[in-house]
Amino acid sequence: MKEKNKLSLKQIIVIGIFTGLGTVGGKFAFNYFTTGSIADQTKIERSLMQVANEMNQNLPLVLDQHTRLDTTIASSGRKFVYQYTMLNIDPSALDKEQFIQTMKPRLINQYETKEDMKTFRDMNVELTYSYQSEAGDELVAITISPQDFSRD
C-alpha cells in the first residue's frame, strides 16, 4: 500500500500562498459592496451571498497538489467561509498547531494589507478558512477578522 505524503513545513507555506487566492473573493465583494448603500446589515449579508455564488461558479478549483478550494459560504453576521480540501496527505501527520501558527499570521497580513480585501475590512467581515480531509472531516479552521489587527 502506498503511504500518503506527509505535509511538510514547505508544503504548508505553499498552501499559505495559494490560500491567498481566497482574496479573489475580495475583488468580487468590492464590486457588490460598491454598487449601492451598504449601511444595512441585510444588504451586506445579501452581498456576501452574491459574492459566494459568483465565486462558486468557478469551483472546485485545484490550487496545487495539496489544496483544492471547494466552495465559499456566506452566513449571517457578516461571515464568509473559504472551504478547502487538503489533498494527498495523511491527516494524522498534520501538526494542526504548527499549521495554525504558520498560516494565521499570513492570513491576517493578507486581510490587513491586500487592497482587494479592503471592502471586507471596511464592512468588518469575519473570514474563516476551513480545511478538511479528502474524507470530508474538518482538520483545521482559522478565523480572522479586522479585530485581529490594529488599525492606525
Residue 19 near residue 111 (C-beta atoms within 8 A): no
Mean pLDDT computed over 5-19: 55
Average per-residue pLDDT for the chain: 80
pTM score of the predicted model: 0.75
Where residue 125 sits, what CATH number does that domain have? 3.30.300.250
Predicted confidence (pLDDT) at residue 49 exceeds the cutoff of 70:
yes
Residue 66 near residue 14 (C-beta atoms within 8 A): yes
Query: DSSP string spanning 65-111?
Result: TTEEEEEEEEETTTEEEEEEEE-SB-GGG--HHHHHHHHHHHHHHHH
How many domains does the chain contain in total?
Answer: 1
Residue 9 near residue 24 (C-beta atoms within 8 A): no
Provide the domain limits for residue 13: 9-147
In a domain, 152, yes or no: no
